[in-house]
Amino acid sequence: MKKTRVDQKFSKLKKRGEKGFIAYLGAGDPCLEDTVDIVLRLEDVGVDLIELGLPFSDPLADGHVNQAAATRALEAGSTFDGVMECISKIRERSEIPLIFYAYMNPLLARGFDESMRIAAQAGIDGFLLLDLPFEEAGPYRQALKENHLNAIQLVTPTSPDERIDKIVKRASGFVYCVSREGVTGVQDELAAGAGALVNRIKAKTECPVALGFGIGTPEQARDAAVLSDAVVVGSAIVNQFYRNPHTPEGRADAARFVEDMVKAVKGV
Residue 25, strand partner residues: 52
Which amino acid does the sequence have at 13?
L
The Cα–Cα gap between 120 and 114 comes to: 10
Angle (CA) 132 156 97, round 5°:
65
Instruction: Determine whether 136 is an active site residue.
Output: no
Cα 171 from Cα 50, distance rounded (Å): 18
Q: What is the DSSP letter of 231?
A: E
Measured CA to CA in angstroms, residue 88 lies from 15, 32, 36 at distances of 29, 11, 10
Q: Are strands 126-129 and 175-178 parallel, antiparallel or unpaired?
A: unpaired
Q: In whole angstroms, how far apart are CA 10 and each of 6, 173, 199?
A: 6, 8, 18
Q: Residue 93 to residues 23, 41, 87, 145: CA-CA distances in angstroms?
A: 18, 12, 10, 26
Residue 102, strand partner residues:
129
CA angle 218, 247, 124 (to 5 degrees): 65
Q: State the catalytic residue, choosing from 7, 29, 62, 125.
A: 62
Query: Active-site residue 51, yes or no?
Result: yes
Give me the catalytic one of 48, 51, 125, 259.
51
Cα 225 to Cα 96, 111, 155, 209, 264: the distances in Å are 20, 37, 17, 10, 9
Q: Known catalytic residues?
A: 51, 62
